[in-house]
Amino acid sequence: MTRRRRRSDRSGRAPLFSPGRPVVAAQDEQRRFWAAIAAGMASEDAALQAGMSQAVGTRLFRKAGGMPPAMFRPSTKLVSGRYLLFSEREEIALLRVQGCSMREVARRLGRAASTISRELRRNASTRSGSLEYRATTAQWHAERSARRPKQAKLAINAALRTYVEERLAGVVIKTFISPEIMISQRPAGAVDRAVPGHWEGDLILGLGSSAIGTLVERMTRFTLLLHLPRMTEHGHKARMKNGPALAGHGAEAVCDAITRTIITLPEQLRRSLTWDQGAEMAQHARLKVDAGIQVYFCDPHSPWQRGTNENTNGLLRQYFPKGTDLSIYSADEITAVAAALNSRPRKTLAWKTPAEAVDQSLISAMSSDVRN
């Protein structure tokens, strides 16, 4: 499904010839004009009182159908402060030229930082080939976007309408999952934990979209942790459409981390991996080639199908509490936590540790190979 491009997505083009700034009459003049109209004046007289030519007043009156635009109606939500006023846009432009950050601009205007960020992204000028914020241009964009009536997005976007209809009907839409790799097709040895090498995987998430990957072997409960550092552009650069996940746990980053970790294990311990239907596993086909492990997917909204992994994640929260920024932990620190977890005796393993259980399973496998 294609997404409608935002105005900021089009700023990378070459500079275009500018026909001049948008025609935006001064807000104070228009406010005085419509106040005079509300008082019963003719459009020509109201224009003179507002300080504009009679022709401009007549044109404004005719274009608006004799009714003042929403931003000039005293009863609208604009007065309550929901929308930015032209005076505020002038202040934003001035503060940005002075080098103020978005948060500083928001603080001075008494607005949310997200409001300023959205304003700078949506209503900036792009004719110079970059995003430049000018109050008059921003006001023009805002007024144009506020025009009514508008066609609903679902009415003009057939792909979006189909997507919404399918989701409302309960259809699961995954571009990368096919029936033959669902959990129901997993080998019997993985289900009954008869042989080692069948893993369950997931991500534990922390503050600021930070994450650590977890891999747990079903038979021995042996745990491997994946270091998923943020990319250097995180927090400094907007994420590109279809680009890498700057938070560090996109499909490519997760695939690489699993491959680096799991290829260090003997082949007997690389049979299958069960994951939920998260987008971070979109490159499972490449993972099968690079790491030599078959990936299977749980049914939607069925975390109990990875019960071993879910229980282990609960233990890991003793080391990585919820609400913690997981990006502060280095690869060595994460490895140390995995070692501590693998040294815990488990009742389900007859009080052996996962490390002892995996060593024992490998020794048994090698002995069997020798006998054969």
List, for the chain, all residue ranges whose pLDDT scores fall below the cut of 50. Answer: 1, 13, 19-25, 75-80
Interatomic CA distance for residues 146 and 258, integer angstroms: 48
Q: How far is CA 363 from CA 219, 272, 367, 368, in A?
A: 15, 20, 6, 9
Fold entry, domain 180-371: Nucleotidyltransferase; domain 5 (3.30.420)
Cα separation, 52 vs 30, whole angstroms: 9
Q: How many CB atoms lie within 10 A of CB 341?
A: 23
Residue type, 65: G
3-state secondary structure of 140: helix
d(CA 92, CA 102): 9
pLDDT attached to residue 67: 77
The 3-state DSSP class for residue 273 equals: strand
Neighbours of 202 (CB within 10 A): 24
**Which string of b and e fits 234-272 if b means at least 16 CB within 10 Å?**
beeeeeeeeeebbbbbbbebbbbbbbebbeebeebbbbb
Please tell me the predicted confidence (pLDDT) of residue 185: 92
Write down the pTM of the prediction: 0.55
Provide the pLDDT for residue 270.
93
Query: Could you tell me which residues come within 8 angstroms of residue 111 by beta carbon, excluding any fewer than 6 positions away?
Result: 84, 88, 105
pLDDT of residue 21: 45
For residue 195, CA distances in Å to 59, 77, 182, 261, 307 come to 82, 66, 20, 20, 17
Question: 191-232, pLDDT tens digit by residue?
Answer: 999 899 999 999 999 998 899 999 999 999 999 999 999 887
Three-state secondary-structure class, residue 165: helix
What is residue 240's predicted lDDT score, i.e. its pLDDT?
Answer: 66
End-to-end CA distance of the chain: give it in Å, rounded.
Answer: 54
Task: Write down the domain spans for the chain.
Answer: 7-145, 180-371
Amino acid 2: pLDDT = 52
DSSP 51-105: TS-HHHHHHHHHHTTTS--GGG-TTSTTTTTSS--HHHHHHHHHHHHTT--HHHH
Looking at residue 26, its pLDDT comes to: 67
